[in-house]
Amino acid sequence: MKFCKFSIVFALVLNACDASSTVAPAGAVDAADAAQASDTALGDTTTADVAASDTAAAGGSIAIYLQGDQLPVVFSDGLQGQTPTDFQVALSRYHVLKAADDPAPQPCFDHGNQPTVANLAGDTLMGQCPTAAIATGTYTHGRVKVDWVRYSVLGQLHYNGMVLPGKFTFLRAYSNTSVDGKPLQAGAGTLHFRDTSGAVDTEIPYSYPPVQQMPGVATQLVDGEFLMTFAYTKPLPVLQNAAGQYWARFHWQVWQAFRWQDSDTAGNSAGAWDVAAPPAPSESVIFAGATGYSVTTSLD
């Protein structure tokens, strides 16, 4: 089915999502407790750590990981939620810094226009470098370049008396980048909808609202590059040419992280994200993608 007549409805979907960005600050009352539980459960050794150690050159190495934290969280915000699926985050560069405003950050890796894509259903090694490439010093922050983010959620599209359950997929370019061979400017992206029958399947371009700031993370868009600077839980002392395997892991809290305000509008289903054409209102999204984050390192 052609989707031209659903363009207005899609605009409503996007208006409902404008209240939050793809990465939202922690909003659950218990999010901090969940982050601490995640840190304890993970420990200092994972399969990904072993892989990094195996592939590291002689001597030490520095690596960064991205993990989706899917430990259950008890929310008390009165919202409905679901855990996004097919959640991908693309990163292409990593620096280590001696301070948040370090004028000379040390480059660890740069994948150029071929970012590493993390699947937030698991734990992904985004890149690493030999310790010999980093000047001796004590580092307190990391900085990554975020290229793009994509995830899917289930919902119901109401239009012209029809209720179409299906999957909504959000794609946002945070930096000037290319996704699936298609160039995108920072802040641009697409919204794709496919109903469960497959009769409706379409994608439209969209310009996303500005990114909300997350506590403890500084974000900036510089010459089309979206940079996130975050503090380590403990300072990271690096001795050039030492044999230590250093790592930092960025945990994104994704459990039930797509959160919306359910409404009792006629035709809506309790516990489902309902998107409707006027005069019925769409259910507003309060958090989209992630409710918070935590950082652990090899020294924790």
Residue 5 pLDDT class (50, 70, 90 cuts)? very low
Give the chain's length.
Answer: 300
The CA-based angle 253-258-262, given to 5 degrees, is 140
Phi-psi region of 112 (alpha: psi -120 to 50; beta: other; left: phi over 0): left
Phi and psi for 197 in degrees, rounded to 5?
-80, -20
What's the pLDDT tens digit per position in 85-135?
Answer: 999 999 999 999 999 999 999 999 999 999 999 999 999 999 999 999 999
What value does the mean pLDDT take over residues 258-281?
86
Please tell me the distance from the alpha carbon of residue 107 to that of residue 88, in angstroms, as a whole number. 24
Assigned token pair, 172: 């946002």
Least confident among 78-82, 173-177, 181-185, 288-292: 288-292
Assigned token pair, 292: 């918070």
Please tell me the distance from the alpha carbon of residue 161 to that of residue 252, in angstroms, as a whole number. 38
Distances, alpha carbon 111 to alpha carbons 90, 128, 230, 289, in Å: 11, 11, 20, 25
Phi and psi for 233 in degrees, rounded to 5?
-65, -30
What's the pLDDT tens digit per position in 145-168?
Answer: 999 999 999 999 988 888 999 999
What's the pLDDT tens digit per position in 32-52?
Answer: 333 333 332 222 333 344 344
